[in-house]
Amino acid sequence: MDKYYYDTVTQLEQTTNPEYTQGWVGGYLGNPEREEQRETNAYRAGFEDGKAGNTDQAKNWKVN
């Protein structure tokens, strides 16, 4: 993988909801989405951002 991927995942793991991070990784890598009953809002947001290659919605899923 590339440096952007590793740096982004490291940052997300430290600052955001784990569901967002898992979604972002799946979207970035082009994995299929989870089954509907296992999706959360954070996962969906992360998946969308991962597919787009950005972290635009991450600020909405910060961990306190």
Q: Which residues does residue 62 pair with via DSSP β-bridges, in sequence order?
A: 16
pTM of the model: 0.93
Angle of helix 18-29 relative to helix 41-52, nearest 10 degrees, comes to: 40
Task: Encode pLDDT of 4-55 as tens digits.
Answer: 999 999 999 999 999 999 999 999 999 999 999 999 999 999 999 999 999 9
Token representation of residue 42? 């954070």
User: Does the pLDDT of residue 64 top 90, yes or no?
Assistant: no
Report which of 51, 42, 44, 47 is spatially closest to residue 19, judged by C-alpha positions.
42
Q: Domain extents for the chain?
A: 3-57
Quote the tokens at residue 30: 């082009």
